[in-house]
Amino acid sequence: MAKYIVRRLLLMIPTVIGVTMLVFFCMSLRPGGVAAAMNLEGNMRPQEREALRQYLNRRYGLDKPLIVQYGRWLNQVLPIGFKYDETGKSTGFGFKVPDLGHSRLRDRPVLGLVAETLPVTLLLNLLTIPLVYGVAITTGIYAARHRGKWFDVSSGVLFFALWSMPVMWVGAMLFGFFASEKYFRWFPTGGLHDTMAEHMKFLPMWTAAGFERGWLLDTAWHLVLPIFCMTYGGYAFLSKLMRASILDNLSADYARTARAKGVGEHAVLLRHVFRNSLIPLITVGAGILPGLLGGSVIIERIFSINGMGNLVIDAINQNDNEMVLSITFVVALIGTISLLLADISYAIADPRVSYE
């Protein structure tokens, strides 16, 4: 297992380099290249424009070939590489503080902005994944055990309908009907907390003035609509996959052999069939987190959540190259780590899996 994990870790390096190289070259080859920001600052004073030009030349080496520019940027964002002083002179090779650049849009270091917004995006995704798998596995098993009955048929129709509805449309409808003042207004219109959340108690309680929902319940209230939008497509698809996998394994030779030896149907399902039926879900799970990170861009925009998705949309609209490149680097890292976790889970669920 250790050898398998080490080899998978080594494969992460070219994957991250490939993703970031593709994005860097696409941004560099567009009109204006990575220095397009200079063309937008028409009202800058000459000394400010010169300072921006020197910064971009020092960071990207704009007078060098494209591959050298990419190498300089990659060296800046990695925690290990060549170190330079303020004059640009090399001071050796070793560990250093990653420099994700400076956001022209927010006038702040990108590292600080990512540190503020990444936990919000990860919170949305870490709440989503257990919900998706919990609902999918439970309904998938129940539908397979009651094949052809009312739950199997009704859940199949419902999940197929959910899977067919685009997230952007569902999010807009939920926002318009359940958060708008014109209709029900059961949920807040945006954000993760009420404006007075800092003054709330952590848990809900009854006071002399009435019921106070507290910080925890207030956060859950704000998360209902965004989390629903991020989960319904996932559990709709995985539930059908789990049902099909359970039915395939229930009719397999090893399951029939277990029944012939007198093992009860409940034990056959839980001890023999369930583990083998998880393999397709683990395979699909490799793409769940990267897909959710992409989907959270839309959700954060609709519900005004200050996460990394909302940040990258603003950066793209305002041509903030440092921000776009750095967030791409962070998302690529998270995506490859999720692939690694999926590979390890796959090897645990099926001992026949090996790197060879």
Could you tell me which of 168, 148, 167 has the C-alpha nearest to residue 156? 148
- Calculate what percentage of the chain has a pLDDT beyond 70: 89
Print burial letters for 15-51: b (CB count within 10 Å at least 16), e (below 16).
ebeebbbebbeebbeeeebbeebbeeeeeeeeeeeee
Position 40 pLDDT exceeds 60 = no
Alpha helices, DSSP H, located in the chain = 2-29, 36-40, 46-60, 66-77, 110-145, 150-164, 167-174, 214-250, 253-260, 265-267, 274-285, 288-302, 308-317, 321-349
- Tell me the one-letter amino acid at 167: V
For residue range 205-216, list pLDDT tens digits in order. 888 778 888 888
Query: What pLDDT shows up at residue 140?
Result: 92
* pLDDT average, residue stretch 292-310: 81
Out of 36-40, 80-84, 227-231, give the one with best mean pLDDT.
Answer: 227-231
* pLDDT average, residue stretch 225-232: 91
Position 105 pLDDT exceeds 80 = no
Position 42 pLDDT exceeds 60 = no
Chain position carrying tokens 């998938």: 140
User: How far apart, in whole angstroms, are the C-alpha atoms of residue 235 and residue 184?
Assistant: 27
Coil, helix or strand at residue 85: coil
Instruction: Report residue 315 as tokens.
Output: 């950066």
Q: Is the pTM of this model over 0.85?
A: no
Query: What pLDDT shows up at residue 38?
Result: 53
Out of 116-120, 157-161, 250-254, give the one with best mean pLDDT.
Answer: 157-161
DSSP 33: G
* pLDDT average, residue stretch 122-138: 89
Query: What pLDDT shows up at residue 247?
Result: 92
- Tell me the one-letter amino acid at 54: Q
**For residue 124, how many C-alpha atoms fall within 13 Å in the half-sphere facing its CB?**
34
Within 10 angstroms of residue 292's Cβ, the number of other Cβ atoms is: 22
Query: What pLDDT shows up at residue 286?
Result: 64
Query: What pLDDT shows up at residue 299?
Result: 87
Q: Quick one: pLDDT band at residue 311, thresholds 50, 70, 90?
A: confident
In order, the DSSP letters of 149-170 are: SHHHHHHHHHHHHHHHS-HHHH
Greater pLDDT, 356 or 45: 45
Q: Quick one: pLDDT band at residue 182, thresholds 50, 70, 90?
A: confident
Query: What pLDDT shows up at residue 271?
Result: 84
Mean predicted lDDT score pLDDT of the chain? 82
Position 282 pLDDT exceeds 90 = no
